A and B are shown apart, each in its own frame.
Chain A
Amino acid sequence: MKIAVCVKEVPDSGPLRRIDPDTKRIDRSGDRSLNAFDLNAIEEALRLNEAGGGGEVVLVCLGPDRALESLRKGLAMGADRAVLISDDAAAGSDLVATSYVLAEAIKRESPDLVFFGQQAGDSDGAVLWAAVADRLQLPVISQVSELEVANGSVTAKRQTEFGYDRIQAPLPAVLAVSDALNEPRYPSLKGIMGAKKKPQEVVSLADLGVPADRAGQAGSRTTVTALHPPPSRGDTQKIEDDGSAAQKILEYLMERKLV
């Protein structure tokens, strides 16, 4: 099967994540890596093809040139190639614009399955797949915690607010996977060495035939108008366990009459 996996490069989690007060966008200057939730999507794509007698796994990413470095991690895991859409005119794309650009890139590939991770660690949107599926006019199943592909269709289990559903859709289809679906593999040394040589195509909006007013700020429909620090949590404490943490927790709970 040919499987496209949409992956995003995100800032490393940590104390330095912040929004740039001037551009009101997420500060992308620090260390960055492949969105951890997307590793589950890559892993599942690899497993499906390993079990089903081959195929191709293509990573698709909208991001700056530098994102190639993060994409190499996915190639090292075993993906066959990467397509990076990199264009200054695409910076600041919101959901509407991002979904348009990604859908155009995916159309060129005509995959049997399109995978997404459960959420981007920096935006926590968990909505992009639905927008891309609508643009591709394909069925979509989200929050997938188990899946099976057989006889040209996919059956998936998902959790909602009310328990578990089981949903079936014919291929091609769009799936967003839960981070509990599998355990992503670590790239082997051979995988890491080989990743650099795998095809990595960098395309512009023009290459995809995306009109400039469909991407970036011009193609976006949402704005950020003001930033505020959140209310302070008041009196909080942080300790490193040096063997005495349990004792400190006990004292803390006793002071508050919780034990």
Chain B
Amino acid sequence: MSTLVFLEHHGSNITKPSLGVLSKAASLDPDTSGIIIGSGVSGLAAEAARYGAARVFIADDARLEAPLPQARVDVIAGLVALHGFGNVLFGASVLASDIAGGLAARLDAGLNWDLADLAVEGDTLVGKRSALGDTVLVDVGWSAEPRLGLIRAGSFEPAETPGAGAVEQVAVALEDFSVKAQMVEQAHEEQTGPSIEEADILVAGGRGLGSPEAFKELEGLAALLGGAVASTRAVVDSGWYPYQTQVGQTGKTVAPKLYIACGISGAIQHKVGMQSSQIIVSINKDPNAAIFDFSDLSVVGDLHAVISKLTALVAERKG
């Protein structure tokens, strides 16, 4: 076996999910390499070595500056053709998913996503994933090499396990179509808002609130409970509430003592950001909402009615 791990970076750091996958892969396969792709990224090789990379491939080119997927598919496909890696692994992210999907087509390789764990059985890799909104766990495999895997963020903590970290530069040859998409403006946080990561209690609102104004109701309840208000991507993308308060795959990961989910369907990308909450109470009018699959107390009903009553009751109790 030999394994290649895509090491995504942001600014001058390799992302935590990538390092987690790297150290896990190195623990399963001593022949694990990392690849860092960008412009002016050579300085990141040492960090990769610290988390277990026996070799670190560097693709450094001005055309690779923006974090766009298609040019990265060209680079990784070229490297796989040269070295014949058995496994190519990614920590899930928007960028990594788009690279992995493109690479699967380019190499006619199998891609398993949303993996929560990896194991080696015999001489082959086995992935463990949950499916259908985490209602079933499946062992997945690959019928050919390379085996491509996207690992759900947060599955593996980065562990310092030094690897040799021999650095190799990669020649960069890009397809015409791969450089057609251009970054106009990169990763800026639109608005600022309160920090939700320290709060013991979060009252979270989703599209079920129906309007941006309804967030006022949640703010009232959160204030009484001594907590903060969180949100979903659907409401943030709609401009209803600030990005800073978004919980989930592309937002914050939180683990408060209490998470009250109001009008949130419970999509997997939201769940990964809040499933470690100690107590989850959810209010949704749809009895089949996925959020109920992982709530401690599920309330089927109209959130406006429930929240306004609950707010009054808590206010009364506090005197």
Contact = CB atoms under 8 A, between A and B. Distances in A.
Interface in B2-61: 10, 15
B105 interface: yes
B120 to A, nearest CB: 14
A167 B184 contact: yes
Contacts of A209: none
A160 B95 contact: yes
Interface SS of A by simple majority: mixed
B104 A137 contact: no
Interface in B119-161: 126, 130-144, 150
> Interface extent on B, as a size class?
35 or more
B100 interface: yes
B288 A15 contact: yes
Contacts of B141: 222-225
A207 interface: no
Given A166-B185, A240-B301, A241-B302, A223 B114 contact: no
Contacts of A258: 201, 225, 257-258, 279
Nearest to B134: A230
Contacts, number: 282
A147 interface: no
A224 B279 CA distance: 33
A135 B105 contact: yes
B273 to A, nearest CB: 11
A130 B300 contact: no
Interface string B247-273: 001100000011000000001100000
Interface of A: 13-15, 17-19, 24, 26, 94-96, 99-100, 103, 122-135, 137-143, 145, 155, 158-170, 173, 178-181, 220-230, 233, 235-241, 245-250, 252-253, 256, 258-259
19 contacts: A18-B132, A95-B110, A96-B111, A100-B105, A130-B69, A161-B94, A164-B190, A165-B187, A173-B181, A180-B236, A221-B142, A222-B142, A228-B136, A229-B137, A237-B296, A240-B299, A245-B301, A245-B306, A250-B313
